[in-house]
Structure 1
Amino acid sequence: MSKSRLLRMDNVGIVVESLDDAVAFFTELGLTLEGRGMVEGEWAGRVTGLGDQRVEIAMMVTPDGHCRLELCRYLAPAVVADHRAAPVNALGYLRAMFAVSDIDDVVTRLRAHGGELVGEVVQYENAYRLCYLRGPEGILIGLAEPLADGR
């Protein structure tokens, strides 16, 4: 059996229309803006297969510093598809799940930034309280509150 060459997962990317709204939403969730800038040129298009491109990005990082979320706003070429309103059982990207310490407080704070519950906050056995929430532009995230006391 060969040893895996995988080192880690660096980030998950989400394409948005408003970088400012998405950054505000994920900042409220608890991520920190690590950097913001432009990725452009023929070299970048060779990676993505899009040719000459211009993309404004914002890199967000989780409090532990181990996970990143790359928010991208394509200036060129134009966006060609929109999956933001897809239901949770649609093929492709589903959601990013975030562990939180107080799910009710997080949901309340994210609602102030356009967050809407998809269903409701539910409890899974004595392990978690869970919900799906759509943020700006329909971005789907999951929230999981670990239950240590078995309530």
Structure 2
Amino acid sequence: MALKRMDNVGIVVEDLDVAIDFFRELGLELEGRATIEGEWAGRVTGLGDQHVEIAMMRTPDGHSRLELSRFLRPTVVADHRDAPVNALGYLRAMFTVDDVDETLGRLRVRGAELVGEVVQYQESYRLCYIRGPEGLLVGLAQELN
């Protein structure tokens, strides 16, 4: 059987409302919020008795989603938000935007900080990494064609 699609990428946060506001400002749409708990959920994740608030964010084209999760139970056991870009494991989500500079201006109001600098790759892209709410690493790419 063939792979159909990637459904979503999950990110665990402490403040769900701040994360939602940040990704809305980036251009994602809030598809819905829910509370997930119960024995069935713990069987999926292997965490047992869990209670999680989630928000599903959708890209404007409708093809990709970001699942933001805030764990109420069990407590968070590790924090990778300050990991450098060459750390093993989940690194970042990259988003294509119309204008990197304009997007940076809007996201800086929400606390985003540029990691390095905005660079141009050949005649194809302008790229940068930013740290968003709670130090989440996000990439921005502007197509130049």
Match of 1:112 among 104, 109, 112: 109
Question: What is the letter of the counterpart of residue 33 of structure 2?
Answer: R
Superposed CA RMSD: 0.6
SS at match of 2:21: helix
**Among 58, 75, 99, which residue is 2:96 paired with?**
99
Q: Distance between the aligned counterparts of 2:110 and 2:92, measured in 1?
A: 18
Residue 69 (structure 2) pairs with residue 69 (structure 1): no
Higher alpha-carbon deviation: 68-77 or 4-13: 4-13
Match of 1:5 in 2: 2
Q: CA deviation at 1:5?
A: 1.8
Unaligned runs of 5+ in 2: none
| C-alpha distance in structure 2 between counterparts of 1:56 and 1:84, whole Å | 19
In the alignment, the residues of structure 1 paired with residue 90 and residue 142 of structure 2 have an alpha-carbon distance, to the nearest angstrom, of 22
Deviation (angstroms), 1:124: 0.3
Match of 1:138 in 2: 135
Deviations 1:75-128 (A, max 9, x none): 000000001101010111010000001100000100000100000100000000
Report the identity percentage.
73
TM-score, normalised via structure 2 length: 0.99
Specify which of 46, 51, 54 is matched with residue 51 of structure 2.
Answer: 54
- How many Å separate the matches in 2 of 1:122 and 1:112? 21
Residue number in structure 1 paired with 2:24: 27
What are the ranges of 5 or more consecutive residues in structure 1 without an aligned counterpart?
A: none
**1:25: Cα distance to partner?**
0.3
Q: Which structure: larger Rg?
A: 1
Query: SS of 1:25's equivalent?
Result: helix
CA–CA distance in structure 2, aligned partners of residues 23 and 48 of structure 1: 23
Q: How far 1:37 sits from its partner (Å)?
A: 0.9
Q: Which amino acid aligns with 1:70?
A: E
* Structure 1 segments of 4+ aligned residues over 4 angstroms from their partners: none
Answering whether residue 139 of structure 2 is matched by residue 147 of structure 1, we say no
Count of residue correspondences: 145
Taking structure 1 as the reference length, the TM-score comes to 0.95
The CA deviation string for residues 19-60 of structure 1, in whole angstroms up to 9 with x for no partner, is 000000000000000000101011001000000100000000
Structure 1 position 86 matched with structure 2 position 83: yes
